[in-house]
Amino acid sequence: MPGFEIIGDEERQAVNEVFERSAVLLRFGFDEARRQVFKVKEFETAFATRLGVRRAQAVTSGTAAVKVGLKALGVRPGDEVVTQCFTFVATAEAILECGAVPVFTEVNRTLNMDPEDLARKITPKTKAIIPVHMLGAAAPMAELLEIADRHGIPVLEDAAQACGGQYRGRPLGSWGRAGAFSFDFGKALTTGEGGMVVTDREPVYSSARAYSDHGHESNPAVPRGEDTRSAPGFNYRMMELQGAIGLVQLAKLDGAVKRQRENKARIKQALQGITAVRFREFADEEGETGDTLVLFLDDPKAASRAARDLLAEGVRFRILPEALTWHFAGTWEHMLPGLERYRGKAIAREWPLSEALLRCAIAIPIFIKMDDAKLQWTIDRLVKVLRQC
């Protein structure tokens, strides 16, 4: 997740330009004062072009993007929305914020949605499906879309962790009826906080635009203060400073992902001969962003020992079981009043296959700014520890 690594003078200059040319930080209005500077609108247009979609709506966060996307797809209170049990808690929070009921599938060895379990979890109440492209790698979109299309259910891609990734040569986020992105500080493209909803469907875009702006329909026939509205909304507007930063970061995205992929490939190649190590599987390895190298060991004890030894060696890593609090539905008892489907059950045991995978996994974050010496230092310590497993 390199966005913060590549913040530099270009981003500072872009922010200063907003202050120097207009000092209007709101994305709407004040046309004369802002001297026709509309950075958020420029960012939306550039992002849509980058993804090859017709429309993009900037919002305040990735969480907001998922919620706005669901609202735009017509999800209502009481509807069921199927997503996966291994995802950031925000995916479920956005579903609950719509008054809908989250239903979670298992993940497979891709650490993404298991198509077979998706087919089992669909009911007449299912009104949307949210596959999450975890840790920069594509969900198996062809299989998931075939199931969704068979049932007439729209797909909202959660691409919060996969900006810059592809599936079969096509950008992630552009496969479903809508896509949601996050631009927080740890993402591949960062505006500090922020998000984006993308779609090819004009009605979906119009709904997303209105809902994220208090219901404003942006009617060109009337001044903004007299704008029309047909449904209530909320305020998820991105501000101009974020739009300015986003434009600069977008121009850096391809180079950042390329470097990240190269660094990951070099580390992975060095670990190929270690018998105790198994690698994550991919729906499309060529298109993943190189965000994280996931290693599976034989059992949770081996993973814990390796994590302890890597820490002693000074290697930065994320052992996935320790991340379960925020990334695994089996720990979200605090949401149980909203998780109607799981009330009265031992929620931690609802997804045993996924939990077993995650407890044997170690995740090595991949950074852009790793010179040859740093890369070799990391490889040497990984090899030393993992050969003892």
6-64: pLDDT as tens digits:
899 999 999 999 988 877 787 877 777 777 789 999 999 999 999 999 999 999 999 99
CB 48 within 8 A of CB 198: yes
Tell whether the model's pLDDT for residue 308 goes beyond 60: yes
User: At 337, is the pLDDT very low, low, confident or very high (cuts 50, 70, 90)?
Assistant: confident
Q: pTM surpassing 0.85?
A: yes
Q: What are the tens digits of pLDDT across the range 157-183?
A: 999 999 999 999 999 999 999 999 999
Give the C-alpha separation, 106 to 94, whole Å: 19
User: At 318, is the pLDDT very low, low, confident or very high (cuts 50, 70, 90)?
Assistant: low
- Per the structure block, which two tokens stand in for 349? 């045991």
Q: What are the tens digits of pLDDT across the range 180-210?
A: 999 999 899 999 999 999 999 999 999 999 9
Q: What is the pLDDT of residue 173?
A: 99
pLDDT above 70 covers a percentage of the chain that reads 97
Q: What structural domains and CATH numbers belong to the chain?
A: 3-250 (3.40.640.10), 253-386 (3.90.1150.10)
Residues 114-127 have a mean pLDDT of 98
Q: What is the pLDDT of residue 27?
A: 81
